[in-house]
Chains A and B, each alone.
Chain A
Amino acid sequence: MSRHSLQMELLGERLHVNAAREDLLTGIRHAGVLLLCEESDKSPQLTFSFDLAKSGHPPCVPPGAPRAVSEQKDFEIYPEGDNFVVVVEQKSTAHCRYDDCVVTISVHPDHQTNSWIIGHRLFFIPLLEWMRYKNWYPIHGACFQIDGRTIVVSGPSGSGKSTAALSAIASGCTILSDDTLFARREGTIIRLDAFPEPVKIGSGSARFFPEWSNQFIEGHGKFSISESELPGEKRITGATPDYLLFPEIVEKERTELVPLGKETALIKLMPQSVLPEGHEVMQRHIDLLGELVEQTETYSLLFGRDVRDLPDRIRSIL
């Protein structure tokens, strides 16, 4: 069994992955992280070290651990002193140490060929928490530019983010991301950085883009299309947001944009960004989101069936 190792770069931060099997690396690629290089002499800022557990009973919940700070359907996050551990289905673990920037991952035999668990739970969740530690705050949102103005569309899965992004791409707009953004404070403003990954949409939305039907790849209930397959797509890596839209798919022909109060906008934005954890980090996170809301013009996006006209609808409020 050969030893594999990857160097990756994300938002200027260099990541290093030690993994013993190709399918682990496939899982990480599945998480959508753009691999910019596979060899580098520079020291990594964060190292992921994978270990394939041979036993079916690895230690999971840390002995004497306080209650989980985050409990989702298939994973929990527990504090470990100043650090934390992600436990997936009470089987696999990712121990994350902030001080020496190492994530040690033990993959249970049941999970060793599961790309979703490897890529999204054991790799992506610790990565998100580490990014937050470095003051990059994740936001579930698409972002693109129309006529030089930066538009953020933030909402849960299935609310139309990627469809909006594809509509923008189709009309020649510049895109940052269709799903994940990282917000950070730069002086007195909030900037957004792109998280590079393929655009993913549901089959219902794919039908609005017949010109790309041959390029869509099906997987995990979604169709994905890489940026290299989108003719004319223009990516940028960062921008200062001007408009914040909260989409809701409506059974109407025409899309409408309705002004939204800042307080309501913040309440809608928080679930798209905040994972429950300690008060101090949460307060910094909410302050940043509050500044983002104050910095932008906020609207409800009542997304009708005129999907391809979305850029023109947005132009009407610019």
Chain B
Amino acid sequence: MGFRKDSVLRRSSDVPSRAVEGKGILVDLESGYYFSLNRTGQFIWEHLDGVKELQEIVLLMVEQFDVDEETCLKDCIELADCLAADGLVVSAASG
């Protein structure tokens, strides 16, 4: 998808999700697949609200987790690309 640090994404409207002990489970109603997220993945998922840029989420993560900004941004973009490829998130600009 090639997202950048100023990309703004939001969770797709038809993806039920649930956090358990900090980790996340997503259900793709279209395919019937379940996806699981680790703690950092769940943190990112919760902040993909259609308002924050990925860079802002990264700054929040650096405060919360023991990770440097550069690594965190790379991982955040990688996860966003994966989620978008499965239709679980969309660009906020896409309406």
Residues of A bordering B, CB below 8 Å? 261-263, 265-267, 270, 274, 276, 279, 282-283, 285-287, 289-290, 293-294
- Decide yes or no: A276 and B29 within 8 Å by CB, A263-B36, A267-B34, A270-B34 being known contacts: yes
Q: Is B14 an interface residue (CB 8 A)?
A: yes
| Contact among A261, A276, A279, A290 for B18, CB-based, below 8 A | A290
Contact, CB under 8 Å: B13 / A279 = yes
20 CB contacts below 8 A, A to B, read: A261-B21, A262-B20, A262-B21, A263-B20, A265-B20, A266-B18, A267-B36, A270-B34, A274-B27, A279-B14, A279-B15, A279-B16, A282-B16, A285-B16, A287-B18, A289-B18, A290-B20, A293-B20, A294-B20, A294-B21
Q: Which residue of A lies closest to B28 (CB)?
A: A276
Q: Is B2 an interface residue (CB 8 A)?
A: no
Q: Which residue of A lies closest to B38 (CB)?
A: A263
User: Could you tell me the distance in whole angstroms from the C-beta of B17 to the nearest C-beta in chain A?
Assistant: 8
Contact, CB under 8 Å: A263 / B27 = no
Report the Cα distance A49→B34, complex, angstroms.
37
What's the count of A-B pairs with C-beta under 8 Å? Answer: 47
Report the Cα distance A62→B29, complex, angstroms.
22
User: Which residues on the B side are within 8 Å of A294 (C-beta)?
Assistant: 20-21
Contact, CB under 8 Å: B25 / A266 = yes
Main secondary structure of the interface of B (DSSP, over half): strand
Contact, CB under 8 Å: A279 / B29 = yes
Q: Is B23 an interface residue (CB 8 A)?
A: yes
| Contact among A263, A265, A282 for B29, CB-based, below 8 A | A282
Residues of B bordering A, CB below 8 Å? 13-21, 23, 25, 27, 29, 32, 34, 36
User: Which residues on the B side are within 8 Å of A287 (C-beta)?
Assistant: 18
Report the Cα distance A286→B32, complex, angstroms.
14
- Decide yes or no: A283 and B29 within 8 Å by CB, A262-B21, A270-B34 being known contacts: no
- Given contacts A293-B20, A294-B21, 10 further A-B pairs with CB under 8 A are A263-B23, A270-B27, A270-B34, A279-B13, A282-B16, A283-B16, A286-B16, A286-B18, A286-B25, A286-B27
User: Could you tell me the distance in whole angstroms from the C-beta of B92 to the nearest C-beta in chain A?
Assistant: 19
User: Could you tell me the distance in whole angstroms from the C-beta of B41 to the nearest C-beta in chain A?
Assistant: 11
Contact, CB under 8 Å: A266 / B13 = no
